[in-house]
Chains A and B, each alone.
Chain A
Amino acid sequence: MPRRRRRPKLAVWKFASCDGCQLTLLDCEDELLLMSELFEIAYFLEASSAVVRGPYDLSLVEGSITTAEEVERIHAIRRQSRILVAMGACATAGGIQALRNFVDVEDMKRVVYASPEYVRTLEHSLPASAYVPVDYELPGCPPNKVQVLEFLTAFLQGRRPSIPTHSVCLDCKRQGIVCVMVAEGIPCLGPVTRTGCGALCPRYRRGCYGCFGPMESPNTESLSAWFLIRSGLAPQQLVPLYRSFNAAAPAFVEASQRYADPKSVQKAAESLGTHAFDQREPANGEA
């Protein structure tokens, strides 16, 4: 690596979030000291109260944009950042708090807060990319530290990060994990979910929850039809399946809304020609 005259200035920003993504950075224990040598950590309140003024070479943004103040702040950060990276499910897809995007926010305020009149919030929880251009997105709830380190390494070396966008299935198969869906009838979002977690849940015989959001070409319509027919799920059970940490990711929005209306189920089944499906296994995972 050629000697740099100046270390790149790194800033880590927090919006509506649980801080888990920032903890993923701090969790890079073996590399932390090295990171602090290779980067000038200019703004990272979770790690240090010492703050260096912008502009910044690299901004990592955690959290979704949920208030008018946050809209102003993300614009200000964008103006001060050469490269802006959205990190985690909140910053890339709106997070779990985007569940409010599907209901009336005023109703939700009244349910959650004793004095809702003090809460000033936007109607929707949205990813950073809804307001400013984002240079790169690191998905996941939380992101995988291997992927975070790969991004930082690629940034330092000026190359493309090598972060796969294919399904979780490939990583199950690479590890020799027996498919929980085929072998146990457990509904699993792995086929439509982007890899990154190392197939954590299937390794422990659980279906994938979709923490890393939609994969590169998610065919949720086909997977959902299979859940209905073979895993014995009711249409209304499909809605919460797609509405978790990445509820507002466009592919998952489409998938959950398709089954929010029960009449749509018959239509979807017909369009897929489900007569070709074998219906002899109605049990939900029970042999």
Chain B
Amino acid sequence: MASPAVIDVNGLAALIAALQQEGYRVIGPIQRDGAIIYDEISQLNDLPFGWGDEQEAGMYRVRRREDNAVFGYAVGPHSWKRFLHPSPVVLWRARRRGNEWMIEEPVEDSPRLAFLGVRSCDLHAIGVLDRVLHHGSYIDPIYAERRESAFVIVVQCAHFTPRTCFCASMGTGPKATQGFDLALTELVEPDAHRFVVEVGSARGAAILQQIPHRPAEPTDVTAAEHAIAQTAASMGRQLQTAGLPAALLANLEHPHWDKIAQRCLACGNCTMVCPTCFCFSVEDRHDLTGTVTERVRRLDVCFTTSFTYTAGKPLRQSIRSRYRQWLTHKLATWVEQFGTFGCVGCGRCITWCPVGIDLTIEAAAITGREQTTEGVV
């Protein structure tokens, strides 16, 4: 691939415009409702210039930064699954005409999406979803279509403190090395606010050609590497992954599960914010007369009783059993099922748990392993 380039803030504006010109809807970070979320970007000024965040277990606050960094924040409540694995979706509709049913498949004009600001953990999360919904025996056409057309612009993690992150433990970051079209590393110097651009694909190279850029100097590349290394060195959480699946599965009756169950609300927030949790339920809806039926798919979570409702009752009646299912799936049985962990270390489930349950602490307690994290109280 091409050697690294450098663009400035105007180049970033040109990048957004070039993608729009190519027919992409650009999805990127926006500061709204007290968080940095992902939504459609129409122009450069939509991006969260000068906004950062502070995160701890069960706590998130947007904060004004002292500099004007565009990507100076850790991942927020939204992830890209929101756009790749949308919910709800009407799968088909049936209309009764006399004694016959006419089946209609809704013709969805699947949008061409460009994701601006994909972090390495989230790129790996998309990889996990690919394995489940795209590359396995059962291909989900809704996911596949959106995924294949998606233009991925990674932003390497720099200039923020990754308090609830543990991508370094999971081997999923903070630097993305492949699987993107373009990757930006932001360098926030007062007189030289710029982005080092790595090219990861032919279409990435083609877009770069359309925007003003210059070749990267060795000093640019060194500064970028340094910024990413700082993030790697300041990870707020750790998880010992060696032998973890076996250690968890050997402790299914550990008394600590009961302690977690005392705190767990079974509200489903961890699962909803998880960038890899893909479970959905399918339901038929009817109008009052029973002449129109819709089959609707929507995201579901393993924390509800309806999730395991079978033959008259839910199988996992206690919160303990539901939390245990979630954690052991993420960190143990997912490996058997799909060959990777179901966790990429993004830390969203830690931050967005309303009562601050931290899976790195819980997994360590259950497996009796050392937990050495300065962020833990």
Q: Which residues of A contact B (CB under 8 A)?
A: 1, 31, 34-35, 38, 149-150, 152-153, 156-157, 162, 164-167, 169-170, 173-174, 176-179, 181-185, 188, 190-192, 205, 215-217, 219, 221-223, 225-226, 230, 271-273, 276-281, 287
Decide if B269 touches A156 in the complex (CB within 8 Å): no
- Contact partner of B356 (CB less than 8 A), chosen from A173, A190, A278, is A278
- Contact partner of B262 (CB less than 8 A), chosen from A162, A166, A222, A287, is A222
Decide if B377 touches A164 in the complex (CB within 8 Å): no
| Distance in angstroms between the alpha carbons of A195 and B361 in the assembled complex | 30
- Contact partner of B354 (CB less than 8 A), chosen from A156, A181, A279, is A181
Decide if A222 touches B265 in the complex (CB within 8 Å): yes
Decide if A176 touches B78 in the complex (CB within 8 Å): yes
Range of interface residues on B (Cβ < 8 Å): 35 or more
Decide if A183 touches B35 in the complex (CB within 8 Å): yes
Interface mask (B56-99 → A, CB under 8 Å = 1, otherwise 0): 11111111000000000000111000100001100000001000
Decide if A191 touches B288 in the complex (CB within 8 Å): no
* Given A165-B306, A173-B272, A178-B37, A191-B60 contact (CB < 8 Å): no
In angstroms, how far is the closest chain A Cβ from the Cβ of B346? 15
In the complex, besides A34-B288, A287-B61, 5 extra interface pairs with C-beta distance below 8 angstroms are A153-B290, A169-B354, A179-B352, A183-B35, A280-B377
Task: Report the nearest A residue to B266, measured CB to CB.
Answer: A217
* Given A178-B33, A222-B262, A222-B263, A170-B289 contact (CB < 8 Å): no
The winner among A156, A191, A271 for most chain B CB atoms within 10 A is A191
The winner among A164, A179, A181, A287 for most chain B CB atoms within 10 A is A179
In angstroms, how far is the closest chain B Cβ from the Cβ of A236? 21
* Given A183-B35, A191-B354, A216-B305, A174-B298 contact (CB < 8 Å): yes
In angstroms, how far is the closest chain A Cβ from the Cβ of B136? 25
Q: Which residues of B contact A (CB under 8 A)?
A: 32-35, 37, 39, 56-63, 76-78, 82, 87-88, 96, 259, 262-269, 272-273, 283, 285-291, 298-299, 301, 303-306, 319, 351-356, 361, 377
Decide if A226 touches B354 in the complex (CB within 8 Å): yes
Decide if B319 touches A217 in the complex (CB within 8 Å): yes
Task: Report the nearest B residue to A274, measured CB to CB.
Answer: B263
Decide if A278 touches B265 in the complex (CB within 8 Å): no
Task: Report the nearest B residue to A183, measured CB to CB.
Answer: B34
Decide if A170 touches B58 in the complex (CB within 8 Å): no
Chain A positions within 8 Å of B301 at CB level? 166, 170
The winner among A35, A223, A279 for most chain B CB atoms within 10 A is A223
- Contact partner of B268 (CB less than 8 A), chosen from A34, A170, A177, is A170
Task: Report the nearest B residue to A190, measured CB to CB.
Answer: B267
Chain A positions within 8 Å of B268 at CB level? 166-167, 169-170, 173
* Given A173-B268, A230-B58, A179-B77 contact (CB < 8 Å): yes
In angstroms, how far is the closest chain A Cβ from the Cβ of B53? 9
Chain A positions within 8 Å of B267 at CB level? 167, 169-170, 190-192, 215
